[in-house]
Amino acid sequence: MKRTGIWLDKNKAYIVTLKDTLETFNTIISNIEHYHPHGGSGTKFKGGPQDVVQDSKYLEREKQQLKKYFKTIAEEINDTDALVLFGPAQTNEQFAKELHKNYTPLSTKIKGIKKADSMTDNQIKAWVKDFFQSN
């Protein structure tokens, strides 16, 4: 039985795969750009000309990059038997929604979605082992 745990945020995903006594650890970098659009007045006078910031353009680009990132992860884990997602923020929940929407066979293998702070590689491996031993 192949069991997989994924710690992910918007920057990277750490994939731990346990199969019998074999353990593999893989990292996928997201390549999602972090946007910091600068807007506002170009002058120091109140009511001066304003720069227009197109938030929707940045958000749409980020959404497309997230979709590509999630596709890369899904291709990496497509033959797993059990899956747990964990990490900070909402990226793990967004990934679970993407699996339900576009990768239904994988979404049925999700055993848990948990919140977790930043961890070292060894802490991630230990967390995944503990999760599957207790479930």
Architecture of domain 2-32+53-134: 2-Layer Sandwich (3.30)
Q: What is the mean pLDDT of residues 17-28?
A: 96
Q: Which two tokens stand for residue 90?
A: 């909402």
Where are the chain's structural domains? Answer: 2-32+53-134
Query: Which among 69, 112, 81 has a CA at the least distance from the CA of 19?
Result: 81
pLDDT 10s digits, 41-83 = 555 666 666 666 677 888 899 999 999 999 999 999 999 999 9
